[in-house]
Structure 1
Amino acid sequence: MSGNLTLPHFHTALRHVTRATSRRPILRERNVGAGAARAGNHSNNASSSALSKRQFWWRARSAAQPAQPQTPEEDLRLAVGQLDDGKPSKHIAVTIDGNTRTFDTVFLRDSCTCPQCVDPDSKQKLFQTSDIPTDLEGTGRLIEDPEKGKVIEFSWTNDVPSSSPSHRTQHSINWLQRAVNTEIELRAGVRNDERILWDKARITASNKWIDYDTYMSSDTELHTSLAHLHTHGLLFLRNVPDSENSVVEIASRIGNLKDTFYGRTWDVKSKPKAENIAYTPHFLGLHMDLLYTSNPPHLQLLHSLRARAPRGESFFSDSFHAAQRLQKLFPAHFRTLCTFPVTYHYHHENQHYHYTRPTIELHPFSRSTDPTSFSIAHVNYSPPFQAPFEARIGSGTNASLRAYLAAVKQFDALLTDERNLFEYRLEEGECVIFDNRRVLHARRAFDAQAGERWLKGAYVEDDVFFSKLRVLRERFGGEWEAEGVLREAVE
């Protein structure tokens, strides 16, 4: 059995209706494509077929019929209308602006955020999902909360044992609509992603520079800067103080630094018998850092402390742009790079790191291999640190290695195409931050005998970066993103 409740617009009359319906939830056009809409229809039909023949819900009078003037008392009385059916059920159907959606009472109860269920200070849950009775049933009614406005209040017949007899769960209309949108997008495999893919011309025109003092002092500008870093994968700072600690201060505005065997920070200087090619004056080709670890850093920061050696220009390439072009021009090569295992390693006297991953990683729940759908999670490409292939790959008549060779040749050609490379020589007092899981970086050779070249580096993990970005987006934009779904900041 399912109880149905319709939520009206403010200042609209309510009436009781007794017929079944199946309507598609509202889809946000900016987030959901045709595939998601189809998934939404399928989900609704399945929900409707599972309902009992008795369907009850409140619904608002048509906007074409103007509501009669009401006193505040009359409006409140109508908004607190109780279901005539009044019987508890395991599913409650709610109609928001003419669109019906059925919610499982376990979901509604588990999502309760009242002080009995979530500690107001720590924000941590005070009960377990496993505490909810399997035969949980409930009823819902629309009420006017003094602080939250119009909300749905749910009562439970057999609540969580730790809850008081007077416990009620309240959910705002906006929260329920957000839950509907999130479910539809996750089921459809559609990912909201605002990343902007670029070539040389585009990044040259849209590159973002920010003054160090502004970056450090203004949360508004920090929000703008980190949002740009997320969409483009590249951000530059100027007027950075001549201090070895400056890179720590820049990274700490985002969050904790990632400590590795290189240390919390590290120096890029030319030195004899270098254990890393970056510590030589030689040409260093396009690569990503620490792909030989299980969780490579998301952000890399490089602060130029000394730039007195001729040459040594840095250049960058958007691997997602190259992957998009590869999928469009050579779809078979794209599929090969999504599946063929490549091993990276770092093997020295005191360290031995080793990890295998495909060149292109897709989001695990994505239903599309089209990069224009932003299904790519990461690109892994670091030729200087590539380990030998396993013998099984190169033995016998296995054709996969030949397929990989053909695919990686095309991919590298796209990455290194001059039209896709952005080149810039970092001057003293400048710092670059880039997405290490997307933007490849390289360096031209320089003359270490003619002057000093010294960069101070640091890393930041993905969870740290996205946590800060969500906090800022929620504060300044009223929305945030997780698991590829854009969510409104609803209390």
Structure 2
Amino acid sequence: MSVNITTTRLTVRCASQHVRAGTPTCKRRTFFSSIFSGPSTVKRRARRDEESPALPTPTREYHPTPIPHEKLIHSPANAGQVDAYPVKTIAVSIEENLRTFDTVFLRDSCTCPRCVDPDSKQKLFQTSDIPQEIEGKARTVQDEKKGWVVEVEWQNDVPGYGPDHRTTHSIDWLRRALNTEVELRGGVRYDDRVLWDRDTITKNNKWIDYADWMSQDTVLFDALTHLNKYGLLFLKNVPESETSVVSIASRVGTLKDTFYGRTWDVRSKPKAENIAYTPQFLGLHMDLLYTSNPPHLQLLHSLRARTPGGESFFSDAFHAAAKLNEQSKTHFRALCTFPVTYHYHHAEHHYHYTRPTIELHPYPKYSEPTNLALHRVNWSPPFQGPFEARIGGESQTALRNYLAAANAYEKLLSQEENLFEYRLKEGECVIFDNRRVLHARRAFDATKGERWLKGAYVDDDVFFSRLRVLEERLEGRWVADGVVRPVV
């Protein structure tokens, strides 16, 4: 790294663990000092020269005389130097606000080539390797690429690192760390998902040409963004090949391999092991809820559509959940807490998993329908097993409460105005969010033609990885845990 040391214009101060005798102090508590500093640490706070003096209070000591060492920060003879002795917390002025960082955090976040492999981007030391007594001396330097950075020299460093090891963090990176911390703790999630009924999805749905999906990253990004917002997307002009669905899914990432295989066929056959492989009506459901990590995306490519009937229809489970919350908080809470068992029990396969109907993110806000912090919905009546908990005796009401809630929820899911119905034509492919959008199929007459869909799954990690890569590349930002994070 090329570094030019110059007279700093950025205020950076170190908070010493011990206040030197005779040094005036100004006690100031900040939000981040309570996060990063232990109760035994005595903070030294210096006021900016241009800051208006605060009135003395019983809990604050006021000293109008500036701390002597603050004058040295802007001295040309002492360019870049902040303190001559090591400390356990380092305070940095970011956007004219004093922010405090624990030296453990700064050391653990080091990205120098000795700490993070430049090629694999993997960490070369463990957080547990950092000594409890680690301390650092900080100064500001100007980097040709990063601009102003904070450089820390370590004492009691991780074993194996010599006295020449330095850690540098740009002001932009430190600002991002602070903003992410605040947003994660605040519990207000960034969420651009659109809850839809039939009219909304009919107006806003997207049809993407297969060739554009396969060749243009901008089209793929627009499609995946739409899929993340609405949970439903259609492709057209898909080649008539059993491998086309593999090509489509591979643009997102690796296919999910299940006991059905990497791909599978939805077509009528005798003695079917799955109701989907019959011509019978198949109600609204999600796939593989009996596994520990059900697939995020489901893809269905229509190879044959030559039989009467067999129309597909879809319903937004998030929209129905929001409506249920408006109608009855009691019903909503029942679906968030009551355990429902799903299973797939055959001679060669025995899958079993219990989960609530509605899963929320850890910090929900209930003020707006679109801010319910909905994470996933689990609804698959054909694959439901016997209840294993709260089935109780005469004094137990949980099962009855769940029954009432499930009945109210099903009515919302299947209301005609909430259903989007479409009969896939040959050469078309539907992609939908299997943890949000329910799918179903009307009965068809298998004696009067052939209906054949080729299916595949993609996991949530794969989908969001691809979406974030495209977000970073095309928009200079990415989203995780409900927080927008700029690329630094």
TM-score, normalised by the number of residues in structure 2: 0.86
SS in 1 for 2:427: coil
Identity of aligned pairs, percent? 65
1:54 equivalent in alignment to 2:53: no
* In 2, Cα distance between equivalents of 1:204 and 1:181: 38
Which residue of the partner structure matches residue 417 of structure 1?
Answer: 415
* In 2, Cα distance between equivalents of 1:262 and 1:156: 55
* In 1, Cα distance between equivalents of 2:314 and 2:449: 24
* In 1, Cα distance between equivalents of 2:117 and 2:103: 22
* In 2, Cα distance between equivalents of 1:250 and 1:286: 25
1:279 equivalent in alignment to 2:269: no
SS in 2 for 1:389: coil
Q: How big is the shift at 1:395?
A: 3.4
Aligned with residue 288 of structure 2, among 287, 290, 296? 290
* In 2, Cα distance between equivalents of 1:97 and 1:435: 41
Tell me: CA distance 1:454–1:16, structure 2 relative to 1, closer, same or farther (3 Å): closer
* In 1, Cα distance between equivalents of 2:78 and 2:420: 59
Q: How big is the shift at 1:81?
A: 3.5
Tell me: CA distance 1:147–1:47, structure 2 relative to 1, closer, same or farther (3 Å): closer
Greater shift in the superposed pair: 152-161 or 434-443:
152-161
Aligned with residue 376 of structure 1, among 367, 374, 377? 374
Which residue of the partner structure matches residue 366 of structure 1?
Answer: 363
Tell me: CA distance 1:80–1:480, structure 2 relative to 1, closer, same or farther (3 Å): farther
* In 1, Cα distance between equivalents of 2:404 and 2:434: 25
Q: How big is the shift at 1:99?
A: 2.0
Which residue of the partner structure matches residue 356 of structure 1?
Answer: 354
1:268 equivalent in alignment to 2:266: yes
Indicate the structure (1 or 2) with the bigger Cα radius of gyration.
Answer: 2
What root-mean-square deviation, in Å, do the aligned CA atoms of Structure 1 and Structure 2 show?
Answer: 2.6
Structure 2: state its 5+ residue gaps. 1-5, 14-24, 53-73
The correspondence of residues 292-441 of structure 1 with structure 2, limited to 5 A, is 292-363=290-361, 365-368=362-365, 372-390=370-388, 393-441=391-439
1:82 equivalent in alignment to 2:72: no
Kept in 2: contact 1:14–1:60 (CA 8 A): no
* In 2, Cα distance between equivalents of 1:82 and 1:299: 54
Q: How big is the shift at 1:277?
A: 1.1
SS in 1 for 2:453: strand
Opposite residue 212 of structure 2, the aligned amino acid is: T
* In 2, Cα distance between equivalents of 1:321 and 1:268: 28
SS in 1 for 2:310: coil
Structure 1: state its 5+ residue gaps. 1-9, 24-40, 63-74
* In 2, Cα distance between equivalents of 1:339 and 1:381: 14
Which residue of the partner structure matches residue 202 of structure 2?
Answer: 204
Aligned with residue 144 of structure 2, among 131, 143, 146? 146
Tell me: CA distance 1:57–1:148, structure 2 relative to 1, closer, same or farther (3 Å): farther
* In 2, Cα distance between equivalents of 1:312 and 1:77: 80
Aligned with residue 442 of structure 1, among 436, 440, 443? 440
Kept in 2: contact 1:13–1:61 (CA 8 A): no
TM-score, normalised by the number of residues in structure 1: 0.86
Opposite residue 52 of structure 1, the aligned amino acid is: V
Which residue of the partner structure matches residue 133 of structure 1?
Answer: 131
Which residue of the partner structure matches residue 163 of structure 2?
Answer: 165
Tell me: CA distance 1:15–1:278, structure 2 relative to 1, closer, same or farther (3 Å): closer
Q: How big is the shift at 1:283?
A: 1.0
Opposite residue 45 of structure 2, the aligned amino acid is: Q
* In 2, Cα distance between equivalents of 1:225 and 1:52: 54
Which residue of the partner structure matches residue 229 of structure 1?
Answer: 227
Greater shift in the superposed pair: 389-398 or 193-202:
389-398
Tell me: CA distance 1:478–1:272, structure 2 relative to 1, closer, same or farther (3 Å): same
Kept in 2: contact 1:188–1:367 (CA 8 A): no
Aligned with residue 240 of structure 2, among 242, 259, 262? 242
